[in-house]
Amino acid sequence: MNSQRPVNLDLRTIKLPVTAYTSILHRISGVILFLGIAVLLFGLDKSLSSEEGFAQVKECLTSPLAKFVIWGLLSALLYHLVAGVRHLIMDAGVGETLEGGKLGSKIVLVVAVILIVLLGVWIW
């Protein structure tokens, strides 16, 4: 069978538009939030179980690794929130054109980066 259609399986050569990157990041941030909820619920359960558990969680949250994990989870939350607001705005009929979608994606990335940097400053 001789197929004349092009086949490009080298992912490094595929050029995606900015809208694809924001969509992929939105999905990834949702998965991170889903998995992060388990970590946060474990910490909440441990902190509510006893005074010793609360002290352990409090001590754990002062470590740099815990701060990094919390920063990662909150960063995913902020990005997911900003991208979700963009989707709500698009559902209202604003920015549905190709140019509007590209501009909205760029705005999402800029606003999310600014908020994530400010969040990092606040945590540390």
Compute the radius of gyration of the chain from its Cα atoms. Answer: 20
Contacts of 94 (CB under 8 A, 6+ apart): 100
Q: Please state, in angstroms and rounded to a whole number, the distance separating the CA atoms of residues 89 and 99.
A: 15
Distance, CA of 81 to CA of 4 (rounded, Å): 43
CB atoms under 10 Å from CB of 65, counted, come to 8
Is 87 annotated to bind a ligand? Reply is no
Residue set of the binding site: 80
Residue set of the binding site for heme: 80
